[in-house]
C-alpha cells in the first residue's frame, strides 16, 4: 500500500507517516509539504493508493489541489485531515466523495480505527463530530457530485447495492463506499433515516 500525506506541517506528516508505516502491513509512506510537491508526487510511480490531505495549504489558498482531486478518481481514495473540524468544509468534502475526515488532534487509536473503517468501505468521521453534524441543518443534495446524486436517487428508490452496482457499472465495494458517503453527507445512520430526512427536502423524489 502506497500512502501520500499532504500537509505543510512536517511534524504532522512525520508523526502520521510513522504511525501508518508501523501499523499497515507493507505500507510505503511519503510526504508532501505543499500543493506543488503533492502534484509532483502524484505524477510519479508508484502512485499512491491513499492520500491524506490537509485542504488548507499555504501555497494553495483557492484549494486548487482539492478541486483537481475532485475531478479525478483520486477523490475516492482521499482522507481529509485538518486541525479545524469545520462542518461546512467536511460536508463539502463529503459531497465531493472523499472517504473520511480525521482531525489532526485525534489520538493514534482513533486514527487507526478510522482508517480501518475506511479500508472496509465506510466513510469515517469521529463519532463526536458526526453527532454534531447530525444536529445541524440538513445539507442540500444538489451539493453532491453527479455520481453521488445517482447513488442517492437509487437509494431513495430502495435499490439494493448489488442491483445498483449493475445499473451503474460499478463494483459492489465501490457502491458500498458511495452509499456510505451519501449517508454520512446527510448525517443518516441507515437508508430509512435517509428517506425520512429527504422526504422533506424540496425537489427530492422519494420512492
| Contact by Cβ (8 Å): 202, 166 | no
Q: Which residue has the cell 460536508?
A: 91
Instruction: Indicate whether 110 and 151 sit together in one domain.
Output: no
Domain of 183?
141-198
Could you count the other beta carbons within 10 Å of the beta carbon of residue 125? 25
In this structure, is the dihedral angle defined by the CA atoms of residues 51, 56, 16 and 145, taken in order, positive or negative?
A: negative
Q: Round to whole Å and give the CA distance between 122 and 139.
A: 20
**Is position 203 within any domain?**
no
- Is 10 in the same domain as 56? yes
From 75, 106, 128, the end of a domain falls on 128
Average pLDDT over the chain, rounded to whole?
85
Question: What's the rounded Cα separation, in Å, for the pair 166 and 171?
Answer: 8
Decide if 34 contacts 58 (C-beta within 8 A). yes
Q: What is the pLDDT of residues 134-145, one digit of tens each?
A: 665 567 788 888
Q: What is the mean pLDDT of residues 150-166?
A: 90
pLDDT at 204 > cutoff 60: no
CATH of the domain at 97: 3.40.50.2300
Residue 83, in any domain of the structure:
yes
Q: What is the value of pTM for the model shown?
A: 0.73
pLDDT per position as a tens digit, 168-198: 999 888 888 888 888 888 877 778 778 777 7
Domains in the chain, number:
2
Specify whether 74 is located in the same domain as 148: no
Query: Domain check: are 174 and 112 in the same one?
Result: no
Q: What is the pLDDT of residue 163?
A: 92
* pLDDT confidence band for 124 (50 / 70 / 90): confident
Minimum mean pLDDT among 19-33, 96-110, 191-205: which range? 191-205
Amino acid at each position: 500500500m502506497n500512502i501520500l500525506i499532504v500537509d505543510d506541517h512536517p511534524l504532522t506528516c512525520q508523526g502520521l507517516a510513522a504511525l501508518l508505516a508501523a501499523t499497515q502491513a507493507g505500507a510505503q509512506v511519503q510526504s508532501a509539504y505543499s500543493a506543488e510537491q503533492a502534484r509532483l508526487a502524484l505524477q510519479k510511480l508508484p502512485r499512491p493508493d491513499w492520500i491524506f490531505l490537509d485542504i488548507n495549504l499555504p501555497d494553495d489558498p483557492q484549494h486548487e489541489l482539492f478541486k483537481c482531486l475532485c475531478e479525478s478518481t483520486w477523490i475516492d481514495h482521499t482522507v481529509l485531515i485538518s486541525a479545524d473540524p469545520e462542518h461546512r468544509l467536511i460536508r463539502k468534502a463529503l459531497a465531493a466523495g472523499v472517504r473520511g475526515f480525521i482531525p489532526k488532534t485525534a489520538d493514534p487509536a482513533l486514527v487507526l480505527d478510522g482508517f480501518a473503517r475506511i479500508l472496509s468501505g465506510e466513510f469515517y468521521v469521529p463519532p463526536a463530530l458526526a453527532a454534531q453534524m447530525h444536529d445541524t441543518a440538513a445539507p442540500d443534495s444538489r451539493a453532491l457530485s453527479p455520481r453521488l446524486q445517482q447513488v442517492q436517487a437509487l437509494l431513495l428508490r430502495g435499490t439494493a447495492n448489488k442491483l445498483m452496482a449493475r445499473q451503474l457499472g460499478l463494483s459492489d465495494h465501490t457502491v458500498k463506499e458511495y452509499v456510505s458517503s451519501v449517508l454520512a453527507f446527510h448525517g443518516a445512520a441507515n437508508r430509512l433515516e435517509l428517506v425520512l430526512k429527504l422526504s422533506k427536502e424540496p425537489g427530492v423524489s422519494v420512492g
